[in-house]
Chain A
Amino acid sequence: MKEKYLINARIIDPKNQIDEIGGLIIDSKGLIKAIGKKVSNGNIPSEADKIDVKKQVLMPGIVDMRVFVGEPGFEYKENFRTLSNAALSGGVTSVVSMPNTSPVIDNVSMVDFLKRRGRDKSRINIFPAASLTKNTEGKQMTEFGLLKRKGIIAFTDGIKTVQDPQVMSRIMNFASQSKSLIMQHAEDNILSKDGLINEGEISTRLGLKGIPFLAEKIIVERDLSFLEEYFCRYHISQISSEKTLDVIKKAKEEGKIFTTGVSINNLTLNENDIGNFKTFLKLSPPLRTEKDRQSLVQGIKDGYIDVIVSDHKPEDEESKRLTFAQATTGASGVETLLSLVLELFHNKSVKLNKLIASITSNPAKILDVDKGNLKKGNDADFCIVDINKPWVVDKSKLKSKSKNTPIEDRKLQGQVLKTFIKGEVAYERI
């Protein structure tokens, strides 16, 4: 591979505190050889490839901590190849895949299978998460140590929550010794039983059973109490309400150490968007009020929420073309994550640097992987973004196998032009 010189770029790398016009050199192995303003037009060897970025943003590849793949078991919804294409077109170069497959990723042999499939079929970095409990049943914990040795970097029951407090406390206690990362989807199943959308005026009007914010808050409060006794690497996958954020603020002020994520859906949509029973907006956690949305945005701004995820959950048309009660939960989102994140920049809610950190360096830090930054010697995984380019979401143009985007026809600003994986162009917008 020839060396590549990318010049005249606005380089944004939150981890290394870079936001400057400069260049990036990729060496013959696909690693970053040099970066910054010292890389300029003057010093390019004649045999190297030269790419003029024309002042567009060059940022680390996105690390998406919450993505569902259909393999194994639901290949008709999404496979590694389609996920990879979708992710690349959205500037995402690393994903943590959720274990809610069929069968569930809960043992060492499944991990081998996934890694092989991921390597053969996709170009992005796949970090499979294993389940916290066998078959995500919430009863018997999985083999954290053995799985970790196989390369599993995070444990979660994905769409499920460990309900039994005893099991959860033991998981946290056990995980503290193997230093495993525990990621919890916070939802009390009894409080949210049969619930479909946020409990409030909209649920009353639509006649749909509500999911109270308490269902989320109570699990976060419980787990944070455990954390005092059993300190482990604990991450709340995504929160949806202001009241939960208040609990998190208080715990952080008390000095507790843990991290929190939020789905881009909860930052850019609210319960009113459900309109006339739009099943594509049936999500978990549910979309809540505008007040909740605003406080979550503030949570990103204030640093109480560390990570923004796409919560990419591809679902085929047939599982959505049902009554609201029968339709499946979840929305596709990996390809629109960055554009929606940029919406928060364009409407002046949050600073660009902070937003980019929440999808690159912050998740990488939590996962303890050397991704999401542009340090010399790292894999050259990055993307070039025209942060101002206007476009309209058209689901027929999405690369994901499933087209269940919750933001069809939304006008967005900012689009990925090119995505590089290990120094090679893996995606280019035509």
Chain B
Amino acid sequence: MAIIKKFKAVKKEQNHLLGIQSLSFSEISNILNQAKTFITLNKSASKKLDILRGKTQINLFFEPSTRTQSSFELAGKRLGADVMSMNIVNSAIKKGETLIDTAMTLNAMHPDIIVIRHQDSGAPNLLSQKVNCSVINAGDGRREHPTQALLDALTIINRKGKIEGLKIAICGDILHSRVARSNIYLMNMLGAEVNVVAPKTLLPHSIERLGVKAFTNMKKGLDKCDIVMMLRLQNERMHGSFLPSAREYYEYFGLTPDKLKCAKKDALIMHPGPMNRGVEIDTNLADDINRSVIREQVELGVAVRMACLKIFCKKV
């Protein structure tokens, strides 16, 4: 009790990246502009900067992740920070330690940034109230995955030159997807028109209130779209009887050349990964270098995360 009270006194002077919803337009432009400068750096022979030299970054991943965790790790290292990735499987959390106790333990080690992924929505918000360093959300429950949305935006800008006025379709398991939510907020804020496409059982309640049009017919949802964003269908959803079978899902909601014809001729295909080939996306389409920017998303992910680390590491 006493310890918790002490931590309440922590001054809220930190800058956190908890979600797209809490960002302003100028903060977003700042991140994207900053990230652009890192794209070239990441392609050069010498990739290391010393912007974050002497700073400590802790990656706290409560859910398994390959690309996001390695992307954040690489981003921190390229900016010169000391990066530590916590292995939750062997940690005290598995022994019943609460998130706040873990936060207080880590806080005592004076990190400058904590990057957190957690299965519970709102966990980064809770963490940010208890530590006196920056908290960056690397995905919480089904709520937000802001850096994924930002890297998607950067990828689109890189290819299309802008986002304003584009028509974007987000397709698949919207209900359980934090990527979908963050992208809906971000693309709306940047002036795109957003469609979501999913079977009714995978559409969240009142999704239209987030400023999107909802479709259960994929061809209609893709009509004249500039961007087709596919989401991963988690296999466990099949057992919760959200869907009859993977076969039926692919038939109606899988991205096939036939359905893609409804989108614009130069429409780009995106996917946050990892992909289920033949479930949500035709395998040839996923590898089509003219249409698919899936690998570019991963590449720009590092640049976006470098920008976020640099910007949010600073005290306000």
Contact = CB atoms under 8 A, between A and B. Distances in A.
Interface of A: 199-201, 203-210, 276-277, 317-318, 321-326
B178 interface: yes
Q: Which 10 A-B pairs have the closest CB atoms?
A: A207-B143, A207-B121, A277-B122, A323-B120, A207-B142, A201-B206, A204-B204, A325-B120, A201-B209, A323-B123
Contacts of B178: 207
Given A321-B100, A322-B99, A322-B100, A210 B121 contact: no
Interface string B173-194: 0000010010000000000000
B4 interface: yes
B121 A208 contact: yes
B226 interface: no
Nearest to B18: A276
Given A204-B206, A207-B121, A325-B141, 18 more contacts: A199-B205, A200-B206, A204-B181, A206-B121, A207-B143, A207-B144, A209-B142, A276-B125, A277-B126, A317-B1, A321-B4, A323-B99, A323-B118, A323-B122, A323-B126, A324-B120, A324-B121, A326-B99
B73 interface: no
B205 A207 contact: no
Interface string B1-34: 1001000000000000000010000000000000
A207 B98 contact: no
Contacts of A199: 205
What is the interface of chain B mostly: helix, strand, loop, or mixed? mixed
Contacts of A317: 1, 4
A316 to B, nearest CB: 9
Which of A200, A209, A277 gathers the greatest number of chain B CB atoms within 10 Å? A277
Contacts of B126: 277, 322-323
Contacts, number: 71
Interface in B114-155: 118-123, 125-126, 140-144
Contacts of A318: 98
Interface residues on B, range: 20 to 34
Which of B21, B122, B140, B204 gathers the greatest number of chain A CB atoms within 10 Å? B122
B207 interface: yes
A207 B1 contact: no
A346 B200 CA distance: 44
A324 B205 contact: no
Interface string B290-313: 000000000000000000000000
B234 to A, nearest CB: 15
